Structure 1
């Protein structure tokens, strides 16, 4: 990120799948100095288990929730959640992905159903691509 800033890039957007979204959230909570790294303006999470502790009910053990006060309040976040018919994408329960609503001040989400709503298929889903494009270009 510092190399991007040194190259003159002042803002970035992140799109992350699964634990990549958790990793990005952890990074955002570290409050990097925006004079040394680009400012993150938008973040799309796809099938991310934000509850981290294994269940949304276990939030007292959730590292991300413990540090949510350090998240940028002006960040726009869009969560994309799969539902294969059992309130999960086959890997991440809806409650764990929806937990992002407790972390981010400016959060919206879409629930994807159907043939390509499974965790590993969300990355290759045309509807997901459309949502990401619309969010990042608006």
Structure 2
């Protein structure tokens, strides 16, 4: 009887392992891409532009990026160079915090899901990291967030 329970438990674990390793989406999103329009159009990304008002080229981030200087080239050029931001987060963690220093330290501001900050708001050419969060409540937020969708 004891061997039967153990065998059933092992079979259950093997099935769970197969489900866990095959339940990922068929087309995983790129972690970064370059956006050349004045809008960050892809759902699930946060964008950082070189210029205010979403002008110029932007780098789009799909995941947390704790150190922009360490991300692949050419995307890392945005490190300490961004002046406006957008959040197109789609999940529970759709809000994004932008930090002055790598590792998520220093001054930081939170941008709500579906909003843009088109002026620097004290963060001009200072951002070096981004982290997705479930809410902006309790964090310093960008002052002039504009609803984009």
Fold agreement, TM-score > 0.5: no
User: Counting strand residues as a fraction of each chain, which structure ranks higher?
Assistant: 2
Tell me which structure has the larger Cα radius of gyration: 2
TM-score (norm 2): 0.27
TM-score (norm 1): 0.28
Does 1 or 2 have the higher relative contact order (CA < 8 Å, sep 6+)?
1
User: Counting helix residues as a fraction of each chain, which structure ranks higher?
Assistant: 1
